[in-house]
Chain A
Amino acid sequence: MKDINLLHIVISLLGIMGMVSLNAVLVVWLERKTAGRMQFRHGPMEVGFHGILQTLADGIKLVSKQLVAPSHADTALFIMAPVVSLVPIFVAMMPIPFSATILAHETDTGLLLVIALGLLNTLGILLAGWGSDNKYGLLGGTRAVGQILAYKIPLLLTVLTIVILAGSFSLREIAMSQNGLWNAFMQPVAFLIYIVCIVLETNRSPFDMAEAESELVAGFHTEYSGMAFSMFFLAEYSYMFVAAALATVMFLGGWHGPILPAPIWFILKVYFLLFLMIWFRWTFPRVRIDQMLMMGWKVLLPISLINFLITAVVLAL
């Protein structure tokens, strides 16, 4: 299993690309439908059954549009930024176990790999903000960096809590260790902190500091159009999927569940979490940047630290 086979990699990458596109189509549709229903509207209804193909139609429209770079933009960075944002997804999807046997590539440190690759999204946002020579873009990019400092430490502390419980960094083994009781019930505080952190990590409302329409026009992607914009879009929804998949593996018992086959359980849990994130977005107002930083440093960090210490002490005893 450990030796890397080229054909294996190619097939997994193709599968992941299909997965990423399908997921984006579905989640964007789910998001727009949920938003509509929460505001007593129908949401998309025209393209396909109840508008299910609306995202596809929008995608075709975006592909056919021109990418306009501002005249003083750093063109290399400007074009690189959406690629930097999207490409790590394909690697980050590799170690995610859809069941005990269905996973693209198993590594002993899968959890660390996925979290490290998640950081590259912020790099992409910073590059986009810097490269587009736009004050709103730059503000959005710097905010994303401020945000990452505030949430990554509590995120890693909660991840460590789960790692010392499971005794492994491998996503498959973490999921296997929760055959009986899910970690969400063993570690409710860590679960809650992780849920807040994935909303922060995926730059979604109420923590969408980097785009904050009411303050920064569209933040880091103000200057982007056409395919480059849709790559950011694709990246956002794919990071949501990866973050929700990690949460499923670490807290909701991965693929474990009665009656239904394992991959179905996994997908159901992931989409439940995705729905939760959509639900958050259409319920909570955006917090201010200082409130967000205050919450990260003064609430999430101490609580996750205390939770980690207590877990370590209890396990040592």
Chain B
Amino acid sequence: MITSYVHEIVRGTGSLLAGMKVTIKAMLSRTQTVQWPRQYLTLPQRFRGHIQLVPVESTGYPKCFACGNCARTCPSKCITVKGKKPEGAKKKSPTTFLLDFTKCSLCGLCVESCPVSALGFSKDYAMAGPSRQDFAEMDLLSSLASPFSTQASKEKDHG
């Protein structure tokens, strides 16, 4: 009776000390969080953000030739592609490439289906906006150079 009483106290104290050892070790080890937005995480190679167009390295124009495979494959129908041939070129180039990110489920079927690997995943994870409309029509062309001169593309867009 009395031995089990003493045994209980000693065992309990031991387990408390073991717990304190765990927390002090955690306290002295590195923190796992970063000070966002001043620091960003380095994302893994295969991180899947929203899709983005891959440029041709030499020119900076999109590799995409507006075949529309991605738009057809997309299960959520959230990609809109329109394309024309720039003057003097053999292949078409996209004039419109819109992503409705409010519907996109990041499945990646568009990236897989692209015949020339013109689509990739971006590493942008810090996205926020005050309204849904901010992400309903994301213009993926805006970050790339355009093979159409601004004057010409305006004429073509507006007929």
Which A residues contact B (CB, under 8 angstroms)? 34, 36-42, 45, 279-280, 282-284, 299
Contacts and interface: CB of A to CB of B under 8 A. Distances in A.
Contact of B31 (A34, A40, A284): A40
Contacts of B24: 38, 279
A41 B30 CA distance: 9
B27 interface: yes
* Top 4 closest pairs, chain A to chain B, by CB: A40-B32, A37-B27, A283-B23, A38-B23
Interface in B1-59: 9, 16, 19-20, 22-24, 26-33, 35
Q: Is the interface of B mostly helix, strand, loop or mixed?
A: helix
Contact of B27 (A38, A45, A280, A299): A38
17 contacts: A34-B27, A36-B31, A37-B27, A37-B28, A38-B24, A38-B27, A39-B26, A40-B29, A40-B30, A40-B33, A41-B33, A42-B31, A42-B33, A42-B35, A283-B19, A284-B19, A299-B9
Contacts of B28: 37
Given A40-B32, A41-B31, A42-B33, A279 B20 contact: yes
Interface size range of chain B in the complex: 10 to 19
A38 B28 CA distance: 8
Contacts of A299: 9
Nearest to B33: A41
A45 B28 CA distance: 17
A41 B19 CA distance: 19
B20 A283 contact: yes
A45 B19 CA distance: 27
Contacts of A38: 23-24, 26-27
Contacts of A37: 26-28, 31
Nearest to A45: B35
Nearest to A43: B31
Given A38-B24, A40-B26, 20 more contacts: A34-B27, A36-B31, A37-B27, A37-B28, A37-B31, A40-B29, A40-B32, A41-B32, A41-B33, A42-B31, A42-B33, A42-B35, A279-B20, A279-B23, A280-B20, A283-B16, A283-B20, A283-B22, A283-B23, A284-B19
B3 to A, nearest CB: 15
